[in-house]
Amino acid sequence: MKNRTGLVWHELYMWHNTGNHAGIMPAGLNVEPYRHVENPDSKRRIKNLLDVSGLSKELTFIDPVSATKEQVLRVHTDNHVYNIESANETGGHADPFSPFGVGSYDIALLSAGGVIQLVDAVMNGDVDNGYALVRPPGHHAVPDSGMGFCLFCNAAIAARHAQDKHGLKRIAFVDWDVHHGNGAEAIFWNDPSVLTISVHQDRCFPPDTGHVTDNGEGEGEGYNINIPLPAGSGFGAYEATFDRVVIPALEAYKPEMIIVPSGFDAGAYDPLGRQMMHSDGYRALTAKLMAVADKVCDGRIIMCHEGGYEPTTVPYFALAVIEQLSGHKTDITDPFMEMHGGLAGQELQDHQDEYIQRAEALLKKIS
């Protein structure tokens, strides 16, 4: 089946300047300057592959409009917004690992605004689903600060917009970035109107967060589901996690929209993760989410780009996901698939199964 799939893109997303850190480390007299790991390469190469494959022609391009300060302030504090805005002319840091350049406040507003535009496009029926290829990323930003290369929590800002403008009562996040979706967890910790699910590598980043026992508090208790997976997890572990926890949680919660903070750093060669996902795996997980979205929310699913730092492989993961969202298969096959798929341990392992069992126990709290 063919869908009308939106793609949010703007060249300025690529101009967010993260400078000359060596990977994640600030350069100095003991660290030779290099490139920051969160640079435009993987994102620009996604756009290029969409163009070369012909898939771009099948998508509905959505021009982002900057988020307003009021929209950002629905999830962030005055102090945080002021800190980023006041460094717009000079550049600054959200944390020691998260530098930003001149104009990054404006680009961050455009990034959040892009996800908002995608929400509107889906809610207005202009598209069926979509992918916001935005930058800077957002899913580590907490109410009072940026973190982990993220300035503003784009997906959370868009979710609050969906509630305020479109009256949605129940929104579900499925964050498959290899790192914990701590931003949405913090923002919606007490709030049952947003079910936050994060599938991530156990204690990768932020350090010591994302525990399976962290489930929200007050009215929000039970509506935050962390599924940490041990390093070395392959598609088998991801598939089991989705079949046994993520999909049943969505079926129980019945969201009116699914938002996927989509990082591709669980990919097999990523420098900032130690998992073994591959393009067929991302395609399959997308199909599972689309099936449940068809069942509970008229197929309303949007994805917004987060991490993914291996610039040669990430574009094929994104191509697979956006092919699946749109129902258009291109002639491009992933040249890395054979190597990724052939890595030993792609099947679910017993010790991974134990992690998933602990998360399965959380399902009974959702209604």
Catalytic residues: 140
Measured CA to CA, the distance from residue 258 to residue 219 in angstroms comes to 20
DSSP label at residue 66: P
Q: Which stretch binds Zn ion (CB under 5 A): 11-19, 103-111, 176-184, 285-293?
A: 176-184
CB closer to Zn ion, 168 vs 178: 178
* Least spacing, CB of residue 270 vs Zn ion, in Å: 8
Alpha carbon 210 to its chain centroid, in Å, reads 15
Measured CA to CA, the distance from residue 66 to residue 294 in angstroms comes to 30
Measured CA to CA, the distance from residue 158 to residue 68 in angstroms comes to 12
Q: Which stretch binds Zn ion (CB under 5 A): 13-21, 30-38, 159-167, 306-314?
A: 306-314
Q: Which stretch binds Zn ion (CB under 5 A): 64-72, 187-195, 249-257, 265-273?
A: 265-273
Strand ordering across the sheet containing 194-201: 60-62, 5-8, 129-132, 301-305, 257-262, 171-175, 194-201, 224-229
Measured CA to CA, the distance from residue 187 to residue 167 in angstroms comes to 19
Q: Identify whether 206 is preceded by a cis peptide bond (ω within 30 of 0).
A: yes
* Least spacing, CB of residue 136 vs Zn ion, in Å: 12
Q: How many residues does the chain have?
A: 367
* Least spacing, CB of residue 266 vs Zn ion, in Å: 8
* Least spacing, CB of residue 309 vs Zn ion, in Å: 8
Measured CA to CA, the distance from residue 200 to residue 174 in angstroms comes to 11
Given candidates 47, 179, 283, 305, which one binds Zn ion under the rule CB under 5 A? 179
Alpha carbon 202 to its chain centroid, in Å, reads 17
Q: By CB under 5 A, is residue 200 in contact with Zn ion? A: no
Measured CA to CA, the distance from residue 99 to residue 282 in angstroms comes to 30
Q: By CB under 5 A, is residue 305 in contact with Zn ion? A: no
* Least spacing, CB of residue 137 vs Zn ion, in Å: 8
**Which amino acid does the sequence have at 228?**
P
**Count of residues engaged in binding Zn ion, rule: CB under 5 A:** 5
* Least spacing, CB of residue 227 vs Zn ion, in Å: 15
Q: Which residue is nearest to Zn ion (CB)?
A: 307
Where in 64-93 is the site for Zn ion (CB under 5 A)? none
Q: By CB under 5 A, is residue 265 in contact with Zn ion? A: yes
Measured CA to CA, the distance from residue 127 to residue 56 in angstroms comes to 14
CB closer to Zn ion, 306 vs 323: 306
CB closer to Zn ion, 128 vs 270: 270
**Residue 251 neighbours by CB distance under 10 Å:** 14
Q: By CB under 5 A, is residue 136 in contact with Zn ion? A: no
CB closer to Zn ion, 53 vs 182: 182
Q: By CB under 5 A, is residue 177 in contact with Zn ion? A: yes
CB closer to Zn ion, 112 vs 204: 204
Given candidates 99, 114, 307, 315, which one binds Zn ion under the rule CB under 5 A? 307
Concatenated DSSP letters of 70-108: HHHHTTS-HHHHHHHHTTTTT-EESSTT-EE-TTHHHHH
Cα Rg of the chain, angstroms: 19
Q: Which stretch binds Zn ion (CB under 5 A): 36-44, 71-79, 195-203, 257-265?
A: 257-265
Measured CA to CA, the distance from residue 315 to residue 127 in angstroms comes to 23
Given candidates 263, 267, 299, 315, which one binds Zn ion under the rule CB under 5 A? 263
Q: How many angstroms separate the Cα of 367 from the Cα of each of 85, 223, 260, 361?
A: 40, 9, 21, 14
CB closer to Zn ion, 204 vs 257: 204
Q: Which stretch binds Zn ion (CB under 5 A): 14-22, 110-118, 239-247, 262-270?
A: 262-270
CB closer to Zn ion, 6 vs 263: 263
* Least spacing, CB of residue 201 vs Zn ion, in Å: 9
Phi-psi group of 268: left, alpha or beta (phi > 0 → left; psi -120 to 50 → alpha; rest → beta): alpha
- Residues lying near Zn ion in the complex (CB under 5 A) are found at 177, 179, 263, 265, 307
